[in-house]
Amino acid sequence: MKKILLICSIFLAACTFQTKHRGYVFPSDLDDVASSIRTTAALRDKIGAPQAKTLYGDEVWIYYGADENYRGPLPKTYDNRTVLLAWVRGSRVVKTQILRDADLPTVKIADGETQIPAAIELNAVEELFNNIGRFSPAGLGQ
């Protein structure tokens, strides 16, 4: 009985629950705050600098925050995911949109790796002989 209790206690100790916040910590009244923002200065003051800005088309500032949950040996899960999008024109905020868990699509990461076109794959021996003569001896300054 003592052995079973010991094994159970070790198993339960490995199943700790931990939550880490990733990205922005948005205020609890984000809807009200976002609707009152009219300038980029106010946006930077109330939310902060954006994590990303779009390169093409309308300038959109993107803010993201989520809770990352660890439950022992189980895979990580994310909840309370929130994305704030702010369309900016000059120093004016034209429009804001808030996306939460239900609004965000589920993205499945593909298994495997992406092949690089025209990549040269060498084995360990080829790599070794390929590097001969590439490096100068120490102290020669070449």
The predicted structure's pLDDT at residue 141:
55
Q: What is the pLDDT of residue 63?
A: 92
Instruction: Tell me the chain's radius of gyration from C-alpha atoms.
Output: 25
**pLDDT given at position 100:** 87
pLDDT in tens, 73-113: 777 788 888 888 889 998 899 999 888 888 888 878 778 87
What sign has the CA pseudo-torsion 36, 43, 82, 22?
negative
Contact in structure between 79 and 101 (CB atoms under 8 Å): yes
- Its pTM stands at 0.61
Task: Summarize pLDDT for 10-49 with one digit per residue, the tens.
Answer: 766 666 678 888 888 888 888 888 889 999 999 999 888 9
Higher pLDDT residue, 57 or 140? 57
Tokens, residue 114:
């992406």
Helix (H) / strand (E) element for 46: namely helix 40-46
Ramachandran sector of residue 124 (left: φ over 0; alpha: ψ -120 to 50; beta: rest): alpha
Domain boundaries, the chain: 26-65+80-101
The stretches of 53-134 forming alpha helices (DSSP H) are 124-130
Tokens of 62: 């993107």
- Secondary structure letter of residue 17 according to DSSP: E
